[in-house]
Amino acid sequence: MGRGLQSILFDLDGTLTDPKEGITKSVEYALNKFDIQIEHLDELLPYIGPPLYDSFIELHQFSEEQAQQAVVFYRERYSTVGMLENMVIDGIPQLLEDLKNKGFSLYVATSKPTVFAEQILEHYKLDHYFEHIGGSNLDGTRSKKKDVIQYVLDQNAILPEEAVMIGDREHDIIGAIGCGVESIGVTFGYGPKEELENAGADHIAYRVEEIADIIQHISLRERCAK
């Protein structure tokens, strides 16, 4: 018999922080290197969430070699300027504080390189809430969300049935399903409700405040099932 919900995994971009400015401007910078001009930065919103390399291929039909180079260009700007063109989503610090006080262990599982995720969370003074910040490697490995989630589970000896994954894009939900983890899709990020539902999200939160209610519901449900 499991112990019930113990561990809560959070996506970063669009779930804990709003990275719109930094990511879209850094993608624009990379595309400009290929003489691709963007009329409006909102055209680049689909780049928020999925692995960058994949997005350059899928959204701009780059070859594998071009996509690799585009990621290099992106990081030229992102690592120096774009990383902190970011803001904490309203209500997130209070949510993290409340969950910690209730005894949950909190983790980050992001497709963003771990080194960037750590710097962002430290800058915004959120890092101390988390037991572990798990992301991708700079060489592009472990960038699929399923691989990141599995890595966080393995590194922290977390049982899938005692965890929940929270994220704003289908990749978060599909990754959670692939690891046998329950999922909460949030609509205040960059994935619409339909995307999250179609991916198979177990729960949908429209506001940050609803996340705590859903987590309480999961905990109560599991207690009643014992």
Helices H / strands E in the chain, number of each: 9, 8
Closest CA to 164 of 10, 15, 1, 47: 10
Q: Which of 11, 13, 18, 147 is catalytic?
A: 11
Question: Which residues neighbour 97 within 8 Å (Cβ) at sequence distance 6 or greater?
Answer: 129
DSSP letter string over 111-132? Answer: EEEHHHHHHHHHHTT-GGG-SE
CA distances for 187 relative to 11, 181, 197, 204, angstroms: 13, 19, 11, 7
154 has catalytic annotation: no
Q: Which amino acid is at 221?
A: R
Torsion-angle region of residue 152: left (phi > 0), alpha (psi -120 to 50) or beta? alpha
Q: Could you give the residue numbers annotated as active site?
A: 11
